[in-house]
Homo-oligomer: A and B are copies of this chain.
Amino acid sequence: MPKNQSLHAPVTGSVVVPVILSGGSGSRLWPVSRKSFPKQFWPLLSDRTLLQETVLRGMAGGVGRPIVVCNTEHRFIIAEQLREVGVTDARIVLEPAGRNSAPAITAAALLIAEENPDAIMWVMAADAAIQDEAALAQALTIAVQAAATGHVVTFGMKPTKPETGYGYIQRGAAIEGIEGAYHVAQFLEKPDADRAAALVQDDRNLWNSGMFVVQASTILSEVARFEPTVHACVSEAVAGRSTDMDFERLAEDAFKRSPDISIDYAVAERTDLAAVVPGSFGWSDIGSWDALWELTPKDADGNAVSGDVFLDGARNCYVRSDSSVATVTGVEDLIVVVTNDAVMVAHRDRAQDVKAMVARLTAAGRPEAVRHNRIYRPWGFYESLIQGDRFQVKRIVVEPGQKLSLQKHFHRAEHWVVVEGTAIVTRDAEQIMVRENESIYLPLGAVHRLENPGRIPLTLIEVQSGPYLGEDDIVRIQDDYARN
Which residues on A are within 8 Å of B, measured CB to CB?
Answer: 310, 312-313, 321, 324-331, 334, 336, 338-347, 349-350, 353-354, 356-357, 360-361, 366, 368, 385-386, 388-391, 393, 395, 413, 415, 417, 419-420, 436-437, 439, 441, 459, 461, 463, 465-466
Contacts and interface: CB of A to CB of B under 8 A. Distances in A.
A415 B463 CA distance: 11
Contacts of A330: 346-347, 349-350, 353
Nearest to A419: B391
Given A390-B419, A419-B463, A420-B388, A357 B329 contact: yes
- Determine how many copies of this chain the complex contains: 2
Q: Which 3 A-B pairs have CB atoms at the shortest separation, nearest pair first?
A: A330-B350, A391-B419, A329-B346
15 contacts: A310-B360, A310-B361, A312-B356, A313-B350, A321-B343, A327-B342, A328-B345, A385-B393, A391-B461, A393-B393, A415-B439, A417-B465, A419-B463, A419-B465, A437-B465
A20 to B, nearest CB: 31
Contacts of A329: 344-347, 350, 353-354, 357
Given A334-B331, A388-B459, A324 B343 contact: yes
Contact of A342 (B326, B345, B347): B326
A459 B459 CA distance: 23
Contacts of A321: 343
A356 B334 CA distance: 21
Contacts of A310: 357, 360-361
A395 B390 contact: no
A325 B366 contact: yes
A331 B343 contact: no
A413 B420 CA distance: 14
A341 B386 CA distance: 14
Given A385-B385, A395-B386, A415-B439, A325 B345 contact: no
A341 B324 contact: yes
Contacts of A331: 334, 345-347
Contacts of A415: 415, 417, 439
A356 B313 CA distance: 12
Contacts of A356: 312
Contacts of A366: 325
A361 B347 CA distance: 26
Nearest to A389: B420
A325 B360 contact: no
A179 to B, nearest CB: 46
A218 to B, nearest CB: 44
A340 B356 CA distance: 26
Contacts of A361: 310, 325, 327
Contacts of A391: 419-420, 459, 461
Contacts of A386: 385, 395
A205 B366 CA distance: 53
A103 B338 CA distance: 44
Nearest to A339: B324
Among A339, A386, A390, A459, the most chain B Cβ lie within 10 Å of the Cβ of A386
Contacts of A357: 310, 312, 327, 329
A341 B321 CA distance: 11
Contacts of A339: 324
Nearest to A354: B329
Nearest to A346: B329
A29 to B, nearest CB: 13
A340 B330 CA distance: 23
Contacts of A390: 419-420, 436
A13 B357 CA distance: 61
